[in-house]
């Protein structure tokens, strides 16, 4: 595998993790298809569609990872654009303000250009300061006072949710290589995405199996304390396993078996707990948005999984949390 990693110009740890993802998908596909035997046609079509969607998502991210950081950042930008468009579509009945939507769409490529150029200061101030101040000015100059607060807030919230927060996953890729000798910026990105998805799946599966006590039934009736806590534990364990392979969090350790109690164990566990907590609230945040709008899914682009927002909701929280965890730990 060493020679293959060299030929592909990727870190060995990254290649191992990507291989593990494909292996896990193969195993999951076999198990899922075996469980569908005897099910009705509608259920089979829905579950198979969801499986295909997972394979497509995994292949796209794997190929982008092999192509390098710029390819992943561009991919994240495209997903961010789709998420913003989806958000504006589902809120259009309340937020029918095309000029503000145009400003939001024009801000997106500029924002991602700052990531590609590694202009951290511009990244940090562009949307939270410049665009935040610019959006209301459009309403003021147009003399729109009716619904002013809601329109200005909704445009800003959409940008913060689908662009600014989510784009921190791309900002990880702009960090210096020397921060992470184990897997480079791509290793940190994979760590974030894998743990976020594992957390979503684990909390859902544990909750389905053992969930009894609801956390916030008015927002998400399927979220339970049992699913939350067991999902967090699962995520922390996976974090401890992955950290030595593709992050600097485990210090000199190169596998989970080499970890000893101390910073080498505490940092991976803390990162896993942070991502698990952030993912939970990111999911709940989007659930609250959909509840307010009276819809079940944000879209229907991904078979069996809803829309783009339904897939990246957790990352809108976990991406900035994990980025600043790494940034302030290793800067």
Are 245 and 274 in the same domain? yes
Give 228's contacts (C-beta < 8 A, 6+ positions apart): 203, 207, 215, 280
114, 148, 171 - which closes a domain: 171
Are 211 and 155 in the same domain? no
> For residue 138, how many other CB atoms are within 10 A of its CB?
17
Question: What pLDDT does residue 262 have?
Answer: 62
Nearest CA to 226 out of 248, 245, 209 is that of 209
8 A C-beta contact, residue 190 and residue 246: yes
Question: What pLDDT does residue 263 have?
Answer: 62
Q: Give the three-class secondary structure for 157.
A: helix
Are 166 and 184 in the same domain? no
Nearest CA to 68 out of 163, 177, 173 is that of 173
Cα distance between residue 273 and residue 123, in whole Å: 27
Question: What pLDDT does residue 102 have?
Answer: 86
Are 205 and 281 in the same domain? yes
Are 202 and 92 in the same domain? no
Are 182 and 328 in the same domain? yes
Are 80 and 132 in the same domain? yes
Are 187 and 281 in the same domain? yes
pLDDT values of the chain reduced to their tens digit, one per residue, 331 residues = 777 767 667 788 888 888 999 998 999 898 888 888 777 777 777 778 888 888 888 899 889 988 899 999 999 999 999 999 999 888 876 666 777 788 889 999 999 999 999 999 999 999 999 999 998 888 888 887 887 888 888 888 889 999 999 999 999 999 998 898 888 999 999 999 999 999 999 999 999 999 889 999 999 988 999 999 999 999 999 999 999 999 999 876 555 555 556 667 899 999 999 999 999 999 999 999 988 888 888 777 776 677 899 889 999 999 999 999 999 998 7
Are 222 and 285 in the same domain? yes
Are 103 and 213 in the same domain? no
Q: Looking at the 3D structure of the chain, how many domains does it have?
A: 3
19, 39, 67 - which closes a domain: 67
Are 304 and 259 in the same domain? yes
Question: What pLDDT does residue 3 have?
Answer: 78
Domain that holds residue 41: 1-67
Are 186 and 308 in the same domain? yes
Q: Is 210 exposed, middle or buried (0-12, 13-18, 19+ CB in 10 A)?
A: middle
Q: What is the model's pTM?
A: 0.92
Question: What pLDDT does residue 45 have?
Answer: 78
Give 280's contacts (C-beta < 8 A, 6+ positions apart): 199, 203, 223, 228, 231, 232, 314
8 A C-beta contact, residue 199 and residue 273: no
Task: Output the six-digit token pair for 132.
Answer: 């935040």
Cα distance between residue 326 and residue 244, in whole Å: 15
């Amino acid at each position: 595998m060493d020679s293959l990693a060299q030929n592909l110009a990727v870190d060995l740890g990254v290649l191992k993790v990507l291989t593990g993802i494909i292996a896990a998908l193969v195993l999951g596909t076999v198990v899922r298809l075996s469980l569908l035997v005897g099910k009705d046609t509608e259920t089979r079509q829905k579950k198979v569609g969801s499986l295909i969607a997972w394979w497509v998502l995994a292949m796209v991210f794997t190929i982008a990872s092999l192509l390098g950081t710029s390819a992943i950042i561009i991919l994240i930008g495209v997903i961010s654009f789709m998420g913003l468009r989806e958000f504006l579509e589902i809120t259009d009945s309340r937020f029918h303000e095309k000029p503000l939507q145009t400003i939001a769409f024009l801000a997106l490529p500029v924002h991602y250009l700052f990531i590609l150029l590694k202009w951290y200061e511009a990244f940090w101030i562009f949307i939270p300061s410049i665009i935040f101040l610019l959006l209301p000015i459009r309403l003021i100059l147009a003399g729109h006072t009716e619904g002013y607060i809601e329109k200005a807030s909704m445009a800003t919230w959409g940008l913060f949710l689908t662009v600014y927060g989510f784009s921190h996953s791309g900002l990880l890729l702009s960090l210096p290589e020397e921060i992470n000798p184990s897997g480079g910026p791509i290793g940190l990105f994979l760590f974030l995405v894998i743990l976020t998805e594992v957390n979503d799946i684990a909390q859902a599966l544990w909750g389905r199996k053992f969930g009894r006590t609801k956390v916030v039934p008015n927002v998400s009736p399927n979220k339970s304390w049992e699913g939350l806590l067991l999902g967090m534990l699962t995520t922390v364990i996976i974090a401890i396993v992955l950290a030595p392979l593709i992050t600097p969090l485990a210090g000199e350790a190169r596998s989970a078996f080499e970890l000893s109690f101390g910073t080498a164990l505490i940092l991976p566990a803390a990162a896993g707990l942070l991502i698990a907590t952030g993912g939970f609230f990111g999911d709940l945040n989007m659930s609250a948005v959909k509840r307010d709008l009276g819809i079940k899914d944000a879209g229907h682009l991904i078979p069996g999984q809803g829309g783009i927002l339904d897939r990246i909701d957790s990352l809108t929280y976990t991406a900035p949390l994990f980025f600043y965890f790494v940034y302030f730990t290793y800067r």
